[in-house]
Structure 1
Amino acid sequence: MKALLLNDKNQWDSMKVQEVEAPSPKKGEVLVNIQAAGLNPVDYKTATNGNPNWEYPHILGLDGAGVIEEVGEEVTDWKPGDRVVYHGDLMKKGTFAEYAIAQAHTIAKLPEAISFVDAAALPTAGYTAYQALFRKLHIHRGQTILIHAGAGGVGGFAIQLAKYMGLTVITTASRHNHDFVKKLGADYAIDYKEEDFVERTLELTNGIGVHAVLDAVSGDNATKSLETLTFNWQIAYIAGAPDFQQGVSFARPLSFHQIALGGVYQSSNLAEQADLAMMGDEMIQLLLGGHLDPMISKTISLEEVPQALVELSKRHVTGKIVAKVSE
């Protein structure tokens, strides 16, 4: 099979497509003929320092959509020919290849009405946003939420999900992306380069603050975001923990939620791993119903993935990039 190979850590920008042997599914696994693979910042971030569990050459890629080619022992719910989408295990070889292995209990069924490209945009960014909003923050209609980096993958999906649930959505984004985030459903967009997002958020909420914050920027940004929260509310963070003591008091208790979507694969909790499939099923239904835009800004070839990851690393990308792997 053809695969995009990472020969050693920190060589992700020079990866080349080569021929390697296709894997075989073991007990509880399926072999997927990958039709499309989504790109995410986690791809280049983990490849920069490598992982002690990897054997080189390694294959990056966490988001895959395709057709089941073969099933392993004790797999009874899936069969060859089934269309699927899934979020893969960071510790194992990934989806930037014609064939990849997935855990059978973590994949979601893909209807014919949804393209492989659209589906491949969902898992890492979409499931992360879904987990943060529904599994951790437990959002509901009438609340106000501050979502950082609204033009990115996680932020963009979070805006859409929050708006679908009836929240007032405030987001941060560069000014040239304000039209984009408002089309996704943001009620207010704050240019974080020109405005103090704390001051502007408090102004928009009449000094009360927001019920929830989703931060995918940094620990420092998450810490500053605590100042935007109203009494007894909460923050979910992805790119670094806030200072848990900053701004927290008896008169202003807050709750903190760490988001580590792929970390579930390092757990022995199969039910939590299976929640990846449940999130996939629910997001596919939202896509089918026209309630979700996969936000694909560019569709590329497997050979073009390294350069696209460079663009991601420079934060020059709005929405999602997806690679077509097989035809």
Structure 2
Amino acid sequence: MMKAFQLSGYEVDPALVEVETPPPGATEVLVRVACAALNPLDVKLWSGAMHGYFPLTFPATVGTDLSGTVEALGADVTGWTIGDRIVARTAPTSGGAVAEFTLVPADQLVKLPDAIGFEDAAGIPTAAGTAWQALFEVADLRAGQTVLIHAGAGGVGSFAIQFARAAGARVIATASEDGIAVVERLGADVVIDYRHEDFAARVSDADVVVDTVGGETQVRSFDVLRAGGILASTVSPPDDAMAKAHSVRATFVFHSSDAARLASVVDKVAGGVRVLTDRAVPLADASEAFAYQASGRARGKIILRVAR
């Protein structure tokens, strides 16, 4: 038996329950979870807002991002040994991260370097992967370009600032309150307090906007791009008509699990990229952590320490 943080239905508060430990299928690995991270996606899945993309089958164990050790191997799995340290992202429809054990397809495991602890590792997959995908796979950011990153003190934003700086881009980031100092420490060239300043009045001719906020912020971001620039939104599909009217490209970054990408960003963290963590709490506090994730106030990642 094991503990798992599960949903019994949409908009039903998740709870810690005792369930059977699942055996690995032929191409799966059973992972003993050390740490798991919560993401905004977990709240969207709970609300049913992502049902069209990621329908859940209940009961559903919360979480996609995890670190831990290999506990057991499926019959057809090669290349892994029991006890190997790993980091992984499961499919949103599968979830399973916030549990003492979980199943992961063997081809989605990434070896965790000794230089990275389990807490930092759990905070990498979705946030860092989304930031990398938005900046380089979607926007093709290059040295010398200017990028505006909204909510720079958030999970995706904090990684995006560091990746963009390392690529030689000029980084402008929005933040507020204590997030301003966080964003400055991460290396943003310009920090805009969005609660007291109009970012559209301070930014013009940006090559790239990374939108992690949506709504009115996304709409007004079209005005700060140069002709031919690109808006990459991680929260909602941008308006095609507005993009055409502004002579820019705009796209929704639909983040997908990719072990090669994850291995690349793990290497970046091993090389010095910082994992911004708001808090790390025991599995017993999962309900409070989930509520805090839903509040939208987190500065960086919320980590659950799962290992007993």
Contact 2:238–2:252 (8 Å) recurs in 1: no
1:243 aligns with 2:239: yes
Q: 2:281 aligns with which of 293, 300, 308?
A: 300
- Residue type at the aligned position of 2:10: K
Contact 2:148–2:173 (8 Å) recurs in 1: yes
CA distance in 2, matches of 1:93, 1:127: 17
Q: 1:188 aligns with which of 190, 193, 212?
A: 190
CA distance in 2, matches of 1:99, 1:287: 25
CA distance in 2, matches of 1:110, 1:84: 5
- Residue type at the aligned position of 1:10: E
Residue in structure 1 matched with residue 268 of structure 2 by the alignment = 286
Contact 2:214–2:235 (8 Å) recurs in 1: yes
Contact 1:146–1:171 (8 Å) recurs in 2: yes
CA distance in 2, matches of 1:54, 1:27: 23
1:256-275 → structure 2 map (5 Å cutoff):
256-262=250-256
Question: Unpaired runs of 5+ in structure 2?
Answer: none
CA distance in 2, matches of 1:232, 1:196: 23
- Residue type at the aligned position of 1:168: R
CA distance in 2, matches of 1:240, 1:221: 12
What is the deviation of 1:55? 3.3
CA distance in 2, matches of 1:247, 1:256: 6
- Residue type at the aligned position of 2:279: K
Residue in structure 2 matched with residue 268 of structure 1 by the alignment = none
2:61 is paired with a residue whose SS is coil
CA distance in 2, matches of 1:24, 1:61: 19
- Residue type at the aligned position of 2:16: V
CA distance in 2, matches of 1:246, 1:156: 27
CA distance in 1, matches of 2:5, 2:242: 44
Q: 1:318 aligns with which of 291, 299, 303?
A: 299
What is the deviation of 1:53? 4.4
Residue in structure 2 matched with residue 130 of structure 1 by the alignment = 132
2:32 is paired with a residue whose SS is strand
1:32 aligns with 2:31: yes
Residue in structure 2 matched with residue 78 of structure 1 by the alignment = 80
2:297 is paired with a residue whose SS is coil
Identical aligned residues as a percent: 36
Task: Give per-residue Cα distances to partners, 1:58-93, cap 9 Å, x unaligned.
Answer: 211110101111122322222222111011111114
CA-atom RMSD in angstroms: 1.7
Task: Give per-residue Cα distances to partners, 1:176-222, cap 9 Å, x unaligned.
Answer: 321110101111111222222111112xxxxxx11101101114322
- Normalized per residue, the structure richer in strand is 2
Task: Give per-residue Cα distances to partners, 1:219-274, cap 9 Å, x unaligned.
Answer: 4322211111112111111111222222634xx53222321113xxxxxxxxxx5x
- Residue type at the aligned position of 1:104: A
Task: Give per-residue Cα distances to partners, 1:260-310, cap 9 Å, x unaligned.
Answer: 113xxxxxxxxxx5xx211221122122221x1111121101121221221
1:223 aligns with 2:219: yes
1:64 aligns with 2:66: yes
CA distance in 2, matches of 1:98, 1:21: 11
Superposition TM-score, scaled by structure 1 size: 0.88
Residue in structure 1 matched with residue 249 of structure 2 by the alignment = 255
Q: 2:141 aligns with which of 125, 135, 139?
A: 139
Moved over 4 A (4+): 50-53
Count of residue correspondences? 304
Residue in structure 1 matched with residue 3 of structure 2 by the alignment = 2
CA distance in 1, matches of 2:97, 2:128: 17
Contact 2:235–2:252 (8 Å) recurs in 1: no
What is the deviation of 1:156? 0.8
Superposition TM-score, scaled by structure 2 size: 0.93
Residue in structure 2 matched with residue 206 of structure 1 by the alignment = none
